[in-house]
A and B are shown apart, each in its own frame.
Chain A
Amino acid sequence: MLASNIKDLFNSLKKNKSLIITIGNIFRADDGVGPYIFNNLNELPENITCINAGDRPENIIDAAVIVNPDITLIIDAANFNGKPGEAKIITEDLIPDTTLSTHSFPPKIITKILKEDTGSQIYFLGIQPLSFDYKEGLTKEVKKTADEIVSTIKNIF
């Protein structure tokens, strides 16, 4: 069951020019939760844009700035020691400076540039993974949450 503040956030997306960015690697089990949600979110209202950054957040910054959103929601797997599948809003100041890999830019750089260029409010929806194994597909705990997020967004929008 998604927390009420997450539903409130989805409602505020509906009322504004909004951007949803999904991040993750589909070949690392639950890290693919962002792209999974992206693939299942279709027919969004005109005021809402969804961009899948995959495992290269730096590639979407120009597209994100062009959207010029009032609110941006970034969806990604996040290890916050919660229960597998738990979803939690993480405020911008708590997004870590680090990146899991030297192969890409830290997400915080992306959020800072987006905020600097557009003034967008930025929220991060983290989903606690169970597995980062080298495999495709989500664990059932994370898939359940991802499906709930998709259906909640569809209902609200």
Chain B
Amino acid sequence: MSKRNLNINVEYLTRVEGHGNIVVNVKEGSLEKCELQIVESPRFFEGMLKGRTIFEAQHITSRICGICSCGHTLASIQAAEDAIGFKPSEQTIKLRKLLLHYETLDSHLLHIYLLVAPDLLGVKSFVPLIESHNKVVRRALRMKKTCNDVCDVLVGRHVHPISAIVGGFTKLPTEKDLDTMLNMLKGMQPDMDATVELAASLKFPQFERDTEYIALVNDDKEYPFLMGDVGSTDDVRMHKNDYKKITNEFVVPQSSAKHTKLSRDSYAVGALARFNLNADKLHPKAKAVCDAIGMKPKVINPYLNTAAQLIECVHCVEDAINIIEDFKNKGINYDEKVLVGVNEQKNIKVNPGNGVGAVEVPRGILFHNYEVDEKGIIQKANCIIPTNQNVNNIEHDIKKIVPEILNKSDADITLDLEMLVRAYDPCISCSAHFLDVKFVGK
């Protein structure tokens, strides 16, 4: 190992959703300090929920994240329905799966094109690509617009959905809506093929660290996003209600985000975790992409989380098409349309209870847990988001990779570390392409 000294302080690796710093100190080749510091202040959403009715929880928690707003909505609804003892219909579940596909697709495409592609294509941000990769930028725009538009059609708007509520949907898609969404998704397929082609040509950094991957698992043939138990690549399988035994949150001084661990020092969630646990359940077209880019579980290179996202994009497009075609064949039961409000009319029976929602959102498994009284008023709330669960794992990745890349320049080491954090697509990644990097004390 190189006997060099290194002092990296990347502040802030950050954006709207959070502020994070990468701090690495190496003295005479020995790693002295290695932290992913999360310095964002707590947001107190759990506190805000206390005393509110369970029927407005999804609108409040949707605001936790602008890009995972559908995921938070669905985790919130699932926890709420679990708490009050409401069983959603098969049609409702299928529509929720469709909504989750739209959001996963939207989020992954944004990450692949805007946040990762500039690194791999050798530019500082997405904007210069308009000169060097004009078709790529235009394709990204088209695909992003399609994701916004299909979400608009299904739930009223592309962010913070309004029609998905406890009990079902306030607006069900018409035959015309189904046709519109189907045409949009089918129109997206050539761009998806081109995206796969682009991604296959990109060279991801070589780095491996074996870790535990955690995601939803099930016993049926479906690649699980919305329902299932919680499983791990270390052969753990638990009911979602045991989420606290899975996450084992603990506090570290350098982070306002709690760390988590299960069977090892850390674990990872997200697209790569889902792929590692459920790859055999992907849509055949997505499996073909796995073969084309050489992805076979268990993949332990965290940079390839982006490749797993690409595979999931193909799966989401194809499965969304299947869901819509199924609705077109079987029809939609419009009697299931619900108007609940805050349940003033007591349309939904409320039992006091404790409920857990466990949903795979773009960045990994998301837990919501509510305890409600007999009036449906929230007494306790707890939300554990994917980025929190990944922070500890990222820190362990950094500890392993730094000694392996010490022969590189400061700039290259910094870039490798930034790319590593970005690969997890954390909610702090938005500003990751205009970081202020400081080297001190060399």
Chain A residues within CB distance 8 Å of chain B? 56, 58-59, 61-62, 97-98, 100-103, 105-106, 108-109, 112-113, 116
Contacts and interface: CB of A to CB of B under 8 A. Distances in A.
A59 B16 contact: no
B110 A103 contact: yes
Contact of B110 (A102, A106, A112): A102
Given A109-B126, A109-B137, A113-B138, A102 B430 contact: yes
B125 interface: yes
Given A59-B148, A101-B16, A106 B127 contact: yes
20 contacts: A58-B145, A59-B148, A59-B149, A61-B141, A62-B145, A97-B127, A97-B128, A101-B15, A101-B16, A102-B67, A102-B115, A102-B429, A103-B66, A105-B126, A105-B140, A105-B141, A105-B144, A106-B126, A112-B127, A113-B138
B130 interface: yes
A59 B127 contact: no
Contact of B67 (A58, A62, A103): A103
B274 to A, nearest CB: 21
B158 interface: yes
A58 B144 contact: yes
B8 to A, nearest CB: 23
B114 A98 contact: no
A100, A108, A109, most chain B CB atoms within 10 A? A109
Interface in B291-313: none
B179 to A, nearest CB: 20
Contacts of A108: 127
B434 A100 contact: no
Nearest to A61: B141
Interface size class of B (residues with CB under 8 A): 20 to 34
Contacts of B115: 102
Interface string B32-60: 00000000000000000000000000000
Nearest to A55: B159
A101 B127 contact: no
Nearest to A117: B138
Interface string B105-139: 00000110011000000000111101000100110
Contacts of B148: 56, 58-59
Nearest to B69: A103
B27 to A, nearest CB: 35
Contacts of A109: 126-127, 130, 137, 141
A19 B230 CA distance: 52
Nearest to B111: A102
Contacts of B138: 113
A119 to B, nearest CB: 16
Given A59-B149, A109-B130, A109-B141, 14 more contacts: A56-B148, A56-B158, A58-B148, A98-B434, A102-B15, A102-B114, A103-B66, A105-B114, A106-B125, A106-B126, A106-B127, A108-B127, A109-B126, A109-B127
Contacts of B134: 116
A65 to B, nearest CB: 11
Nearest to B138: A113
A134 to B, nearest CB: 9
A56 B67 CA distance: 12
Contacts of A103: 66-67, 110, 159, 430
Nearest to A108: B127
A58 B15 CA distance: 20
A62 B144 CA distance: 13
Nearest to B110: A102
B3 to A, nearest CB: 39
Interface in B394-442: 429-431, 434
Nearest to A97: B127
B147 to A, nearest CB: 10
Contacts of A62: 145
B114 to A, nearest CB: 7
B182 to A, nearest CB: 20
Contacts of A97: 125, 127-128
Contacts of A61: 141, 145
A58 B159 CA distance: 14
